[in-house]
Structure 1
Amino acid sequence: MGDKENRPSLKKDQGEVLNNLEKDSILGTKSIPSLYFRFALAGIMANLILGFFALIDGHFVGFFSVLEIEGIGIGFTVMVITRMVGILFGVGAGAVISLRLGKGKVEEGRSIMGQTLWFTLFVSTLIAVLGLIFEKELMLLFGASSESLPYAIEYSRLLWISLPLTILAVVLSILTTIDEKPILSMNSWLVAAVVAVVVEWVMVTQLDMGMMGSSWGNTIAQSIPALLILYFWFGKTKLKPKMKDIKIQLKKIGEVAWTGFASFSGLVMMFFAIIFMNNLLQEHGGGLHVAAFTIQNGYITNLLSLAALGGMTGLQPIISYNYGAGNFDRVKEAIKFGLIFTTIFFVISTTMLIIFADPIVAFFASGDSELHQLGVWTTIVFNLLFTFNAINTLISGYYEAQERNWTATFIVASKMLVFMIPLMFILPKFWGVEGVWYSAPVAEIPGVLIALYFIRKEFKYLYGMSANKEFKYLNEMNTNKLSL
């Protein structure tokens, strides 16, 4: 897929500098299972903590009217923009920096870190300003009806204002993990979730602020991890940003953006898929189906997606560092372990979700029996094959971690563009509004088959590179012995 030029060679440009660096980095020395449980599980837990707040928020939202829930679902699309841009720069910078560290280029990695933060702040501020200027037009574009439009605008306004902070929080939490501090990243989200739950409880139940209590809670939950910037300014880290990084080098920023493009493109396409879903559900099923989609997209499926994303971003520094260092056996072991863990984790998670769909949905839709009944059905259908989604996310993230961006993007884009979005428009012709719901799980089947095809080829490549490296090492040892 045009990524061969990004594969590392086995020339001696790694040398003793790499060997010394590996002694200082746990990424190149500790056992892969130990690293995985430290980094990937910390990433999963960090995102699950954020998802936990979403569950509490969803419980409060469940007591609002169907029209308010519909408006919140439309307004919540702004948080998708936060995740899109944060992942673009966070995942991109994380992979590029880890590859530099794996090659011993510490100062270059530090410079990329600083420039990414400055550029992210500029871009996110620009998006926030445009969002506030065109908020009415955007909410209509996102699928708001004339009745739910005022609610969507009211809910989203605070999210637009806080957008620079929430995007910076995503980027900083990923970079903190890259700096081998995954627990610190996780704790930042834990603090944010606890504070947000308390604030939302007070605003909704004590101050009777309704949906604005939810808006404030989400803003706080997504913003507090931006304080991780204090760690990079004052902590002991080799990635401490410097003022000279305010001078942006577009080539480096371009590399960061291109490396994070696969994850970003997946979220962009999901962003448009959400818009299509909202509009198609409104057309074929009305506001009740839009409200049911809010429960899935904003809370239940969102929790699973956050866990999958956390596992992927936690695995990436292990892949990037060892790939940059030429440790192909460790790369192979890491992706294999990641695939096994991801499959087991999400098979169990989705099975439990289906078994307990009724009480779970009741947690979000306790105020409306019709919404509750529809929510149980949509929970089962919409999340039945989510394990395939998680595998697809992990494999595309694997290629992204090596800057093999065409392959990573193809894995993500093919599922969304070739299958899911067309199915949204095709299946309703046969099954009405139910066909809209079927489109996502049906698209997961060809999507995961494409991803598995690529990773199968990759395992063959890694086996060959490992054997080649071992052969060259033994050959050099024999040559050295003969010279002695």
Structure 2
Amino acid sequence: MGRVDNNSPLITEQTEVMNKLGNHSVLGTKSIPLLYIRFALAGIMANVILGVVQVVDGYFVSGFKVLEIEGIGIGITVLVISRMLGILFGVGAGAVISLRLGKGKIEEARSIMGQTLWFAVFISILLAVMGVAFENQIMTLFGASAESLPYAVQYSRLLWFSLPLTILAVVLSILTNIDEKPVLSMSGWLVAAVVAGITEWIMITRYDMGMMASSWANTIATAVPVLLIFYFWFGKTKLKPKWIDLMINLRTIGEVTWTGFASFSNILMMFFAIIFYNNLLQSYGGGLHVAAFTIQNGYITNLLALIALGGMTGLQPIISYNSGAGNFDRVKQAIKMGIIFTVALFVILTAIIIYYVEPIVSFFSGGDPNLQQLGIWTTIVFNCMFTLNAVTLLIAGYFEAQERNWTATVINVSKILLFSIPFMFIFPHYWGVDGIWYSGPAAEIPGALVAIYFMWKEFKRLKQTKLV
């Protein structure tokens, strides 16, 4: 192929058009540091609000029996499914819509929004029906013992029924960010958090509802932001869905799901890892280790993961829009800002967790001395490398935002599929049940190296890229 002449009239005209399109939005004009801080902090705060609800829930749960905590740890896996599918459709649609907006294709972006919402509703209802129909088999697969199975089934049933709402809530909150309303998205989660916290407190202290109070709180906390749909239908937005979008174009949905597949694959791999953790910890260490894992997976590590996800989803609209508009200098500046911010934030958070590990774990251990002792050790071990996890997630999200899905998927999948899960089975042969706990943080090192390699290549590409 011949070399493209960057000075040709056609290329010059394309450049001018792209620059004008990029100037139609603050995503294409506002200072990158200020823009990133605004979007990232809004995304982080929205997820922190959700995480705080679960932390408060963990305080109430700490007063339950160890067997009940074990059942909750198994049943709460349904929330991972809702987050996984919400991210699939939300991040996928968000990236595709932002790229279209960056190119000035507003009506096409609006149609993608509507089709995604209708398709997400259909799939989530189908999964909810299957979840309720096969709840015993699914909870056993997720790692429930014969003793904890009734508790896991009881806890998860409401989460299955509410699955369409919780999935749609995640999708809508991400698309609200794409529509340049990150504060509105955050407000939706804040309202949910307040309502959920009050509800759980009343149900436990006044009506002694025990586990079901926790199930209701988690359902409310993850479902209430579905009310953001009223903003899209009645607010001033370019992305207002229409009834005509019920006529779903499978090619459009294919593009959305493929674009969101990298983030989906990351949570999918985590989902499988959780199942392996529950089953292996049950086999090697018994219910006490499963309860300790519930503290990590449901509360402490989960809060860190939500913060990392918020930072990543805050970066993606900036990357997608400016990639679509051809503003590659802004793209490079944004990812650099994202990496610096992520490393600094999670080094500080990790240090805080390690320094205050004893009171943090006591918040969830309910005065059980054995769970407290094990929880302190597992909290330090399991979270010591989380900064690498956050950086890996951010880099994968960067490639996903540009629809470079193979790269993003390789980054997300390789860490768990090639490192974490094999380590999970190999390490116990040398260190027993402790080896299962070592496997996660050990996998973060090679996983981060894979992500850094792709990012290094990307910086070289951006350095050489000229607007054409």
Counterpart in the other structure of 2:114: 114
1:199-221: per-residue Cα shift (whole Å, max 9, x none)?
Answer: 00000111100010000000000
C-alpha RMSD over aligned residues: 1.1
| Deviation (angstroms), 1:17 | 4.5
CA contact under 8 A between 2:22 and 2:327: conserved in structure 1?
A: no
Deviation at 1:24, TM superposition (A): 2.5
TM-score (norm 2): 0.97
What secondary structure sits across from 1:24 in the alignment? coil
**Distance in 2, Cα, partners of 1:222 & 1:416:** 26
> Would the aligned equivalents of 1:98 and 1:178 in 2 still touch at CA under 8 Å?
yes
8 A contact 2:49–2:189 mirrored in 1: yes
Q: Tell me the CA shift for residue 369 of structure 1.
A: 1.1
- 1:368-401 CA deviation, whole Å, 9 max, x = no partner? 1110110000000000000000000000000000
Amino acid at match of 1:215: S
Letter in 2 for 1:462: L
Partner of 1:234: 234
Task: Go from structure 1 to structure 2 and tell me whether the alpha carbon gap of 1:291 and 1:85 turns closer, same or farther (over 3 Å shift).
Answer: same
Alignment of 1:194-205 (within 5 A): 194-205=194-205
Is the CA contact (8 Å cut-off) linking 1:14 and 1:103 kept in structure 2? no
Matches of 1:404 and 1:448 in 2, distance apart?
18
1:170 maps to 170
Partner of 1:7: none
Cα–Cα, structure 1 residues 144 and 414, in superposed 2: closer, same or farther, change >3 Å?
same
Task: Please show how residues 289-300 of structure 1 align to structure 2 within 5 Å.
Answer: 289-300=289-300
Q: Residue 208 of structure 2 corresponds to which residue in structure 1?
A: 208
| Structure 1 pair 13–290 and aligned structure 2 pair: CA distance change class (3 A) | farther
Q: CA separation in 2, counterparts of 1:289 and 1:423?
A: 18
Q: Is 1:126–2:126 an aligned residue pair?
A: yes
Report the counterpart of residue 480 of structure 1 in structure 2: none
Name the counterpart of 1:267. Answer: 267
The amino acid across from 2:211 in the alignment is M
Distance 1:14 1:225 in 2: 40
- Hey, what's the Cα distance between the residues in 2 that align with 1:278 and 1:12? 58
Structure-2 separation of matches of 1:12 and 1:367:
70
Report the residue type matching 1:224 in the other structure: V
> 1:295·1:375 contact (CA, 8 Å) conserved in 2?
yes
1:18-417 equivalence runs, <5 A:
18-417=18-417
- Are the aligned partners of 1:365 and 1:371 in contact in 2 as well (CA < 8 Å)? yes
- 2:185 and 2:19 map into 1 onto residues whose CA distance is 28
Which residue number corresponds to residue 446 of structure 1?
Answer: 446
Match of 1:260, SS? helix
Preserved CA contact (<8 Å) 1:343 1:387: yes
Mapped to 2, the partners of 1:314 and 1:238 lie a distance apart of: 20
Deviation of 1:14 after TM superposition, in Å, equals 4.5
For residues 169 and 135 of structure 2, the distance between their equivalents in structure 1, rounded to whole angstroms, comes to: 23
Give secondary structure in 1 for the equivalent of 2:23. helix
Tell me, in whole angstroms, the C-alpha distance in 2 between the residues paired with 1:323 and 1:463: 14
Q: 1:210 to 1:107 in 2, by over 3 A?
A: same
Q: Distance in 1 between matches of 2:140 and 2:417?
A: 23
Contact 1:14 1:325 in 2 (8 A): no
The residue number in structure 1 matching 2:3 is none
SS of residue matched to 1:144: coil
Partner letter of residue 88 of structure 1? L
1:367 CA drift (Å): 3.1
User: For each residue in 1:289-314, what CA deviation from the matched residue of structure 2 results, as whole angstroms up to 9, or x when unmatched?
Assistant: 00000000000000000000010011
Runs of 4+ deviating beyond 3 Å = 10-21
Q: In 1, are the aligned partners of 2:19 and 2:327 still within 8 Å (CA)?
A: no
Once the two structures are superposed, residues 433-457 of structure 1 have per-residue CA deviations (whole angstroms, 9 ceiling, x without a partner) of 0000000000000000010010011
Task: Write out per-residue CA displacement over residues 213-255 of structure 1, whole angstroms, 9 at most, x where no aligned residue.
Answer: 0000000000000000000000000000011000000000000
Q: Give 1:18 shift.
A: 3.5
Change in Cα spacing, 1:13 to 1:424, as seen in structure 2 (3 Å) is farther
Structure 1: which amino acid aligns with 2:127?
A: I
Aligned to 2:7: none
Distance in 2 of aligned mates of 1:17 and 1:94: 23
1:228 corresponds to which letter in structure 2?
Answer: L
Deviation at 1:16, TM superposition (A): 4.9
User: Does the Cα contact within 8 Å between 1:319 and 1:398 map onto a contact in 2?
Assistant: yes
Q: Is the 8 A contact 2:281 2:289 kept in 1?
A: yes
What is the TM-score normalised by the length of structure 1? 0.94
Equivalents in 1 of 2:181, 2:351: separation in Å? 32
- In the aligned structure 1, how far is the partner of 2:406 from the partner of 2:12? 27
Q: Which amino acid aligns with 2:360?
A: I
Question: Structure 2 CA distance, aligned partners of 1:147 and 1:277?
Answer: 18
Aligned length: 459
Gaps of 5+ in 1: 1-9, 473-484
- Counterpart CA distance in 2 for 1:423 and 1:270 is 14
Structure 1 position 19, deviation (Å): 3.5
d(CA) in 2 for partners of 1:34, 1:396: 22
Query: Once the 2 structures are TM-superposed, how far is the Cα of residue 12 of structure 1 from its aligned partner?
Result: 6.0
Alpha-carbon distance in 1 for matches of 2:16, 2:449: 41
Letter in 2 for 1:357: V
Supply the AA of the counterpart residue of 2:361: V
CA contact (8 A) 1:64 1:367 kept: no
Write the letter of the residue equivalent to 1:401. A
Distance 1:73 1:225 in 2: 24
Equivalent position of 1:459 in the other structure:
459
Q: Residues 416-431 of structure 1 correspond to what in structure 2 (within 5 A)? A: 416-431=416-431
Secondary structure at the aligned position of 1:63 is classed as: coil
Task: Quote the Cα distance in structure 2 between the aligned partners of 1:12 and 1:365.
Answer: 65
CA offset digits 1:145-192 (Å, max 9, x no partner): 000000000000000000000000000000000000000000100000
How many Å apart are 1:22 and its aligned residue?
Answer: 2.8
Q: Distance in 2 between matches of 1:216 and 1:367?
A: 24
CA change 1:126–1:429 in 2 (3 A) is: same
Structure 1 SS opposite 2:380? helix
